[in-house]
Amino acid sequence: MARNTHTRTTATSANDDAGAADADVPLPVVAVVLAGGTGSRLYPASRSDRPKQFLSLAADGNDGNDTDESLLERTVSRARGVADEVVVVTRESYRDGVAERVGDATVLIEPVGRDTGPALLYATHRISTKYDNCVVLALPSDHLVGDGFAAAVSRGAAVATTEGRLVTFGVEPTRPETGYGYIEPADGAEEGSGSEWFPVRSFHEKPDAETAEAYVEAGHYWNAGLFAWRPAVFFDAVETSPLAPLLDALRADDDSVTDAFESTDAVSIDNAVFETADDVAVVPVSFPWDDIGSWDALERVLDADANGNVTDGDVALRTVDAGDNVVVADDAHVSLVGVSDLAVVAYEDRVLVVPKSKAQDVKSLVRSLQDRGEF
């Protein structure tokens, strides 16, 4: 089936490949890097005291960022290429780890962890007290991103500035993927600040395999969790969202803020604001991107050996009749005999073995470990 829901211009890919900001953003850009999550599906590398964003995963990945820096450090470095200021939002227990890795960034501690919705509202409110007007660029701290990022997000920031819309960035899919949410654009591209964008028709949760294939064929985009907005536009949308009481508490600027956080349900920014807001725009981007949310994802971003095995970290792998495995370790000699399609992960005193097809289920294991106080 042809992807004919809407027409994409060649300028999108050309701009992404430029590797530098090429859109004029007349307002200051403040990047908010979300670094309060754990990344539990990457256990045992990710633990309660060592979240995913502190890991140096896929240092030799195909995103063009060959470095042993942590995912957080790579994200902040990218943000500095387009933003006037970088703010890292995290939890109290990660404060020292964030400061150790990106000490030159402004660190903002959430009063209580309640997912990305409250975190981004808190950060945007704090930023708005410093800048009369600006563009907030919201970035996950733990994704792999390749060349073209600065040019693409600059175009989106320009749309947020001139069009007065909440902006989400839609990644061009390279395959049907059940692990990502999708953005359905409306028919007909718009032009703003020289950038192509589409009104958003709807957001879709992670689909099954058949539905994912249909989404890709229909021209939907991957939801990469990248957003841009002017604070005033964002606050207007929040006023009719589940986050409205928290916004009221922030505006009151008194001792009620922590109580308001504690009484707010954990909710993503997508669910709380974007899915119900009017005038949301999606800006298409085509830079290499992966959220490496589970161990099987590494085979998408790392080169395999002659037997299809992928390794990451400090690992010496020896095999006999073993192929198509993902092996990760911080310092281990690993031998595989007669097995395939496994993820084998050895970090410190912990070892995980899971079929790649069940890699998403590691999150369920972590919940049981947390109940036992073993995470």
Q: pTM value?
A: 0.90
Which pLDDT score is estimated for 176? 96
pLDDT tens profile 241-253: 999 999 999 999 8
Q: Which pLDDT score is estimated for 304?
A: 97
Q: For residue 136, what are the β-bridge partners? A: 30, 229
Contact 266, 276 (CB under 8 A): no
- Rounded to an integer, what distance in angstroms lies between the CA atom of residue 57 and that of residue 144? 9
Amino acid at position 166, single letter: L
Render pLDDT for 67-101 as a digit per residue (tens, 0 to 9): 689 999 999 999 999 999 999 999 999 999 999 99
Two structure tokens written together for 278: 């009017």
CB 52 within 8 A of CB 142: yes
Collapsing DSSP to helix, strand or coil, 198 comes out as strand
Region 138-164: mean pLDDT is 95
pLDDT interval class at 23 (50, 70, 90): confident
* Chain-centroid distance, C-alpha 2: 29
Q: What is the DSSP string of 52-115?
A: GGGS-TTTT-TTS----S-HHHHHHHHHHTT-SEEEEEE-GGGHHHHHHH-TTSEEEE-SS---
**Mean pLDDT to the nearest integer, 304-327:** 97
For residue 26, the model assigns a pLDDT of 85
Query: Please, which residues have CB within 8 angstroms of residue 286's CB and are 6 or more apart in sequence?
Result: 12, 13, 16, 148, 152, 171, 172
Mind listing the domains of the chain with CATH numbers?
Answer: 10-290 (3.90.550.10), 295-371 (no CATH)
